[in-house]
Amino acid sequence: MRFFFRSKKFKILLSIFISLLILAGVLFSIGETVTPGSSVVAAITAPVGSAVNWVTGGITKFFKTFNEYDELAMQNDALRKENESLVSQLMQHQEALTENEFLKEFLEIKEKNKDYIMEPATIIARDVNDAYGGFTVGKGSLDGVAVGDPVITSAGLVGFIGEVGLSYSKVTTIMSSFANVSAIDRRTSDVGVVGGTIEFSEKGNCRMYNISNTSSVAVGDYVVTAGGGMYPEGIVIGKIISIMSDELSISLIAEVEPVADISGAENVMIITYFAGQGISGPED
């Protein structure tokens, strides 16, 4: 609305208004020198006076409407800012709740595993070109993170640190073909190795292979880390949802559904140290 005063229309209206005022002034001066009752003066000044009154009234109404519009715009702007402030406060509140819940889970894991040194990390990017669901976190070597460090959530194992920068790290998930996690069936104690293939990762799952064909693993069993090497003992990896024979050997393969929400996680925990780290486990 403020640009109206710079417009061509406004300039034209203003010129007409000023012209009418000048004309009215001239006619008024003439009327002062002519007999008041003169019909000629009355005939000339009456239409002009009406026109002046009409223009004056219109402009007065315009400015009144403009002022009302301006006041309404100010009120709307104030309401908009108030709404933005409330939305921002709500988002901050939700972020605080999420962070508090994450830190609570972090402390619970720490209490159960006092030897762990962990670094909480937020996922800052996901690699859309990684078929295995890899992602980047905002912690790096400056935070004590190193290649090979296990990455977990409160639910279970996510993967390991595959690459480290000063302030970021790239995570390789357990669905990757590069993951070779020594694992054990928690119910039967049968051992195997957990890793991934394209076929399984497309379903969001991984596999446990090198399982003896004489084992008694079954659908519904939970698989955990066997310990030693890169991973602490007892971290839950996932649940067996199907079992099949390995066509390339006499062993079995179990399809494992990860317990960690790898694709939906926003925060993870990096285990930068644990007792026995680097010591070879059953399959390392």
DSSP string, 13-25: HHHHHHHHHHHHH
Q: Residues 49-91: pLDDT tens digits?
A: 565 566 566 666 655 665 666 677 777 777 777 777 666 666 6
| Structural domain includes residue 110 | no
Q: For the residues 107-128, what does the mean pLDDT come to?
A: 91
Antiparallel, parallel or unpaired: β 150-152 and 157-164:
antiparallel
| Domain span at 15 | 2-80
C-alpha separations of 192 from 92, 181, 182, 203 in Å: 44, 8, 6, 21
Percent of the chain at pLDDT exceeding 90: 53
Buried b (16+ CB within 10 A) or exposed e, 181-197: bbbbbeeeebbbbbbbb
Token digits for 270?
A: 């990096």
Question: Same structural domain for residues 141 and 64?
Answer: no
pLDDT at 282: 47
Q: The pTM is what?
A: 0.65
Residue 283, phi-psi category: left (phi > 0), alpha (psi -120 to 50), beta (remainder): alpha
Chain segment 140-183, per-residue pLDDT in tens: 999 999 999 999 999 999 999 999 999 999 999 999 999 999 99
Mean pLDDT estimate for the chain: 81
Is 58 a member of any domain? yes
Domain co-membership, 38 together with 178: no
If asked whether residues 75 and 153 sit together in one domain, one would say no
How confident is the model over 195-238, as pLDDT tens digits?
999 999 999 999 999 999 999 999 999 999 999 789 999 999 99
